[in-house]
Homo-oligomer: A and B are copies of this chain.
Amino acid sequence: MCPFCPGNESHTPHEVLAYREPGTEPDRPGWRLRVISNRYPALKIEGSLDRAPHGIYDRMNGVGAHEVIIETPEHAFDIVDMTDSQVRDVLWSYRERMADLERDVRFKHIIVFKNYGEAAGASLEHSHSQLIATPIVPKRVQEEVSGAKRYHEFKERCIFCDIIRQEVADRERIVKDHDAFISFVPFASRFPFETCIMPKSHQASFLEMSDHEFTILARCLKDTLLRMKLALNNPPFNYVLHTRPLSREYHDYYHWHFEIIPRLTKTAGFEWGTGFYINPTPPEESAEFLRQIDISQYGATEIRQANG
């Protein structure tokens, strides 16, 4: 029994957002997309932080929001099987939930991520993403923010905009140029086939996108994931949406992006001990391989199969 399938709504927490057929009721079938609180939340929505010392250590309560985006009623669909407008709905739901949670002044950042495949940490097969609002800026986002800020102090330019300029000029690490967005393999990528999607215009927050850009981004995300699926034989992967922390002070130098990491290699003692990654595949080779994948035959076939 899959708790994310239509008809099983009573097995999940109440929905906080749904896109559904007119006239259908909350927590009942009739939805195209459904967002619920996580039944096993990493952080809880009630209470205050109560920051306090514990000797020389620090503690605080695990306050935050942890939600699950059930992306489709179809149990067997992945993002690559969805229509462009379904994928746009998924991205749209990220925006709606982020905009709602942003109003809670306890939160400093909201992260959205997806685990696909058991090896990537997915505990349920039915296609879903997760959103976590945290009362502190996550370490990795803080590292990006701090680095970007130093660069901005030095150059008075956004480092991500400069990266995009160089990637567009160099071309060799680009997976596909979607005009408003580019999908590319980062210069010093940690993992084989690690891919990044960024808006070409300067947008620090995911919430700055226009409606039209959501449609293009949906196409770009689906295109990238489909290339990865075909190139690497349906690999487990994680993607993460990094957007600016919840304050406008970050606007000038941060730039939102998706990081997509297929889980092909194991991390071991060296990676844990150093924070360095040994990538056996040059990013230019990963990009060329993804660029040359013919995705034209996929979609329709798979959807027919999934519908029986």
A187 and B58 CA atoms in complex are apart in Å by 9
The verdict on A268 contacting B238 (CB below 8 Å), with A57-B188, A138-B273, A140-B275 known, is: yes
Contact across chains for B238 and A55 when beta carbons are under 8 A apart: no
Residues in B whose Cβ lies below 8 Å from that of A275: 138-140, 143
Q: Are A111 and B270 in contact (CB under 8 A)?
A: yes
- Chain B residues, Cβ within 8 Å of A130: 269-270
Q: How far is the CA of A132 from the CA of B269 in the complex (A)?
A: 11
Give every chain B residue within 8 A of A143 (Cβ-Cβ). Answer: 275
A187 to B261, CA, bound (A): 30
**Stretch of A11-19, A113-121, A288-296 that contacts chain B:** A113-121
Cβ B134 vs Cβ A274 within 8 A: yes
Min distance, Cβ A185 to any Cβ of chain B, angstroms: 13
Cα of A274 to Cα of B42 in the assembled complex, Å: 13
Mask for A241-252, Cβ within 8 A of B = 1, else 0? Answer: 110000000000
| Complex-state Cα separation, A177 to B76, whole angstroms | 53
Contact between A274 and B138, CB atoms less than 8 A apart? yes
Which chain B residues lie closer than 8 Å to A119 at the CB level? 266
> Is A259 an interface position by the 8 A CB rule?
yes
6 further A-B contacts with Cβ under 8 Å, apart from A139-B275, A141-B274, A238-B273, are A55-B170, A113-B270, A113-B272, A140-B273, A238-B272, A267-B267
The chain A residues found within 8 Å of chain B, CB to CB, are: 42, 54-57, 111, 113-115, 119-122, 130, 132, 134, 138-141, 143, 159, 162-163, 166, 169-170, 187-188, 238-242, 259, 261, 266-270, 272-276, 278
Smallest CB–CB gap between A112 and chain B, Å? 8
Asked if A187 contacts B259 (CB within 8 A), the reply is no
The 19 sampled A-B contact pairs (Cβ below 8 Å) are: A42-B270, A42-B278, A54-B187, A56-B159, A56-B166, A111-B270, A111-B274, A113-B268, A113-B269, A115-B268, A119-B266, A121-B266, A134-B276, A140-B274, A141-B273, A238-B269, A241-B273, A259-B272, A267-B267
Give the complex CA separation of A166 and B54 in angstroms. 10
Considering only CB atoms, which chain B residue lies closest to A276 in the complex? B138
Given A267-B121, A268-B115, residue A273 in contact with residue B166 (CB < 8 A) = no
For A261, give its contact among B242, B259, B272 (CB under 8 Å). B272
Q: Find chain B residues with CB under 8 A from A55 CB.
A: 166, 169-170
CA distance A93 to B51 in the complex (A): 45
The distance in angstroms between the C-alpha atoms of A139 and B274, with both chains bound, is 6
A103 to B139, CA, bound (A): 35
Neighbouring B residues of A278 by C-beta, 8 Å: 42
